[in-house]
Amino acid sequence: MKEKREDNCVFCRIVRGELPATVVFEDEATLAFMDIGSVNPGHMLVAAKPHVANLQGMEAELAGAMFRSAARAAKAIEAVFRPAGISVYQANGAAAGQTVFHAHIHVLPRWEKDGLTFTWPVKNPPRDELEKVAAQLRTAL
């Protein structure tokens, strides 16, 4: 895996040990640490060790490592907190809510009425529109 470095990226600096973080675990490709802006106790971030801004810029190997680590984090959260649910969130770009432009995944325990919501207006497009969009995406692949 090719290592990229961004001198001023906060997550790169955490990975390099230049900034403090409460690390839960790490492997060759990822670092899992407590989110200082936690929604609930146990809220972890799984960050890519090499600097990559988003999912679109990731090699398949790194994407797989990120989601394996997210699953590992979710299992730990389940074992310790026995939450009502677990949210896994990964944002790409400012419009999606990304605020740190270094690829990372939020893994957080959820409780009824914990104040965090993930809702969006359902549009229910007709099947022919879905087929048209799917054809465009298949072409892009």
Cα(63)–Cα(45) distance, integer angstroms:
15
- Which run of H or E residues covers position 87? strand 85-89
104 part of the active site: yes
CB atoms within 10 A of CB 43: 20
Report H helices in the chain.
10-15, 60-81, 127-140
Q: Give the active site residue among 43, 51, 104, 106.
A: 104
Which residue numbers are catalytic? 104
